[in-house]
Amino acid sequence: MNIRAFFGKDRWIISGVALGLLYGLAVRISVRFHVWDKGISVMTWGFVFGVPLVMGFLTVFIAEREYRIPVWKWFLLPWLAVVGMALGTLLMLLEGFICVAIFLPIGLVCASIGGVAAGIFGGFSKRTRTTDVIAGCVLFLPLLVTPWESSVLYSKEIRNTETFIDIAAPDTVIWANIERVPAIQPAELENSWSHRIGFPNPIEATLSYEGLGGIRHATFGGGVLFVETVDVWQPGQRLGFSIRAATDQIPNTTLDEHVRVGGPFFDVLHGEYSLEPLGDGVIRLHLSSQHRVSTDFNWYASLWTNAIMSDLQNRILHVIKARCEKEAVRR
């Protein structure tokens, strides 16, 4: 069978998608094995934004250099390469599912930008050796960005996440359910998008003794442990604690190095419960947390850290509400 006749013009589209996908995988594998001493790394603009942009450019450029393709394909064909790369990193255990989930939204947008750029470039230029050389130079865009970006873009920010829930129960009941959190059964937890993308479930929180300086051990699935030291103790009103993640005990299979709590890019620093009486036997329980984000693109990373922390805190609050109201009815 004549392969060219079978695929027709589509063979150039297939070639473009394949080349874009292979480029992305090649860069990711080279990062994994430290091919460049001070080159590209995963948590950089060069990789998160530059690599999918180049993938999108290659995908469309290979087809456009042979014949004109519809404009809508400039936007969507690059997605095939990016999704294929993401699946490849999962299969090769280069990334965890949570990292892929965080990368894909911005990766798809950047890939479409690259595809549109290639479409416009192909439309205004003829197929010449110079054109191919210019397009080839695009391949090195991520390497041109990463050596200097951290000195300009890197920042360390402290973010706060605030959540609350209204509970029809006495303050003494609520306090007893927040100073210690007995083992949470899976059936008590609400469905969670953050858990579906890989963030572990909360399990329990113990307390060594009541009062300032008491040590809480908050455990999560997958071997995640937070050691919390009580620094605010106002029974029936406020419970605050500094947080230290037992980073060395968190397996890579639970949270990989790019999203590990207590790692170079993300950490949880402080948590606090506060009780606000609303009247008619209802108390509003607030749960706030303070966390650190340290990347070259905090504006994007913090969207995810805030969303994940908010989802996690709401799950914990719903467990406490159900337990407290059940106990209040029983009393």
Q: What are the backbone angles phi and psi of residue 241, rounded to the nearest 5°? A: -155, 140
Mean pLDDT of the chain: 89
DSSP letter assigned to residue 256: -
Q: Which residue, 231, 186, 184, 181, is CA-closest to 207?
A: 181
- Domains, the chain, ranges and CATH? 3-153 (no CATH), 155-330 (3.30.530.20)
Q: DSSP letters of 124-166?
A: HS-S-HHHHHHHHHHTTHHHHHHHHHHHHH-EEEEEEEEEEEE
In the structure encoding, which two tokens stand for residue 203, read together? 């399990």
Q: DSSP letters of 199-237?
A: PPPEEEEEESSSSTT-EEEEEEGGGEEEEEEEEEEETTT
Q: What is the pLDDT of residue 1?
A: 39
Question: pTM, whole model, 2 decimals?
Answer: 0.88
135-168: pLDDT as tens digits: 778 888 888 888 788 888 899 999 999 999 999 9
- The angle that helices 51-64 and 129-138 make with each other, rounded to 10 degrees, is 160
Confidence category of residue 2, pLDDT binned at 50, 70, 90: very low
Per the document, the length of the chain is 331
Rounded mean pLDDT of 223-237?
Answer: 95
Distance of CA 204 to the CA centre of its chain: 24
